Amino acid sequence: MAAKPHITIVGAGNLAAALAAALLRAGYPIDAVVARSAGGSLRRAKLLARNLGATAVAASHAQIDSDLVWFCVPDGQISRAARSLAGKGAWKRTIALHSSGALTSDELSALRQRGARVASVHPLMTFVRGSRPSLAGVPFAIEGDDSAVRLARRIVKDVRGQPFPIKKRDKAAYHAWGTFASPLLIALLATTERVAVTAGVHRRTAKQRMLPIIAQTVANYAARGAAGAFSGPIVRGDADTVTKHLRVLQQTPLAREVYIALAKAALEYLPAGQRATLKKILTHG
Ligand SMILES: NC(=O)c1ccc[n+]([C@@H]2O[C@H](COP(=O)([O-])OP(=O)(O)OC[C@H]3O[C@@H](n4cnc5c(N)ncnc54)[C@H](OP(=O)(O)O)[C@@H]3O)[C@@H](O)[C@H]2O)c1
């Protein structure tokens, strides 16, 4: 496939919006955005399609004739969406991709059986409503059929991402890693806001007041790695302070559980003083 392949996007959610815009900027024509038949779904697909110079079509009426079909639907819908489109095109010369981090290219086996070549192509990036992060420098984990992987690598490079191979058996662990890196980091920040409330600080105020320390922490981590960025009572071995924290956190039991789990991880993975004493305090409260 020498020229830039024409692309159909299935789904019009957070990934689809960011990815399709990047593909178009990189010179890939977007033919269509495929949606479910329900009114809201098609309406959202139309909005996205309009910005891409594409047409929006319900899966039930779709006729796939693009060179490449990129499934940007929730993980639980990938195989269903693939099955629903299997009879709606000649798939023999088509490449089909999905972007699940946890699932393998086998989710697209209904299309592989029809002659398509398939791959999973997962950007290690977070896409939320209203944000379109740049894909420049974003690692993309890729596995699947040779020709699909080759094309996926070329496209990822064209959107200035960084393709890398992943084995099928590693995908679940890979995605658990990615989940720690963003969604669970946000869960930690949400927990942090709850703790601020017990200190008499409103949640919204807490966010503003925390941003400088969070930004500096991420900068320190980038520059010095985890050990070099680690400060606070655990690295100092300040057991009395940790005891005080555990006492006051009884007001927010879930946050206390998170604190204990993370402090235990710190004792395993990071520099710490009074390691044995802290371990005892964290185990017995
Ligand atoms: N968001 C991220 O940060 C991120 C990062 C990396 C990879 N991914 C992967 O990207 C994929 C999409 O995630 P997302 O976050 O973009 O999800 P999302 O925002 O919920 O969007 C999913 C889209 O798929 C549509 N859809 C659902 N079932 C469909 C079907 N059977 N046929 C056609 N369209 C269908 C939904 O439309 P309606 O509900 O309106 O019908 C919606 O437009 C997932 O595989 C996810 O693992 C996401």
Same domain, 244 and 215: yes
Model confidence band, residue 2 (pLDDT cutoffs 50, 70, 90)? low
| Distance from Cα 99 to the centre of ligand 1, integer Å | 9
Residue 264 and residue 159 share a domain = no
CATH classification at residue 125: 3.40.50.720
Residue 15 belongs to some domain of the structure: yes
Is 58 inside a domain boundary? yes
Q: Could you tell me if 104 and 158 lie in one domain?
A: yes
Q: Could you tell me if 113 and 217 lie in one domain? A: no
In terms of residue numbers, what domain contains 271? 182-284
Residue to mutate, 64, 72, 184, ligand 1, most ligand atoms under 8 Å from C-beta: 72
Residues 131 and 38 in one domain: yes
Per-residue pLDDT tens digits for 22-47: 999 999 999 999 999 877 999 999 99
Ligand 1 atom nearest residue 81's Cα: 31
Q: Which amino acid, one-letter code, is at 146?
A: D
Residues 114/91, Cβ–Cβ less than 8 Å: yes
Which of helix, strand or coil describes residue 86?
Answer: helix
State whether 104 and 157 are in the same domain. yes
Last residue of a domain, one of 135, 170, 205: 170
In what order do the strands lie in the sheet containing 162-165? 55-58, 30-35, 7-10, 68-71, 95-98, 117-123, 139-144, 162-165
Nearest-CA residue for atom 31 of ligand 1? 81
Encoded tokens for 218: 């991420």
CA of 169 to the centre of ligand 1 (A): 23
Interval 74-92 mean pLDDT: 97
Among candidate residues 146, 170, 194, the one where a domain is terminated: 170
Q: Is 177 part of any domain?
A: no
Same domain assignment for residues 101 and 226: no
Same domain for 146 and 233? no
Q: What distance in angstroms lies between residue 256's CA and the mean position of ligand 1's atoms?
A: 34
Give the amino acid at 140.
F
Last residue of a domain, one of 170, 198, 226: 170
Q: 249 and 156, same structural domain?
A: no
* Ligand 1 site residues, Cβ closer than 6 angstroms: 10-16, 34-36, 40-41, 44, 59, 72-75, 77, 80-81, 99-101, 122-123, 126-127
Closest ligand 1 atom number to CA of residue 16? 16
Q: Give which of 154, 141, 125 is closest to 19, Cα–Cα.
A: 125
Residues 249/243, Cβ–Cβ less than 8 Å:
no
Provide mean pLDDT across the span 230-259: 98
Q: Is residue 163 part of a domain?
A: yes
Number of folded domains in the chain? 2
Distance 113 CA to ligand 1 centre (A): 24
Please state, rounded to an integer, the average pLDDT across all residues of the chain: 97
Assign 285 a pLDDT band (cuts: 50, 70, 90): confident
Residues 18 and 144 in one domain: yes
In what helix (H) or strand (E) does residue 211 lie, and over which residues does it extend? helix 203-228
Q: Kindly give the distance from the C-alpha atom of residue 125 to the centroid of ligand 1, in angstroms, as a whole number.
A: 14
Same domain, residue pair 164 and 242: no
User: Which residue lies with its CA nearest to atom 2 of ligand 1?
Assistant: 127
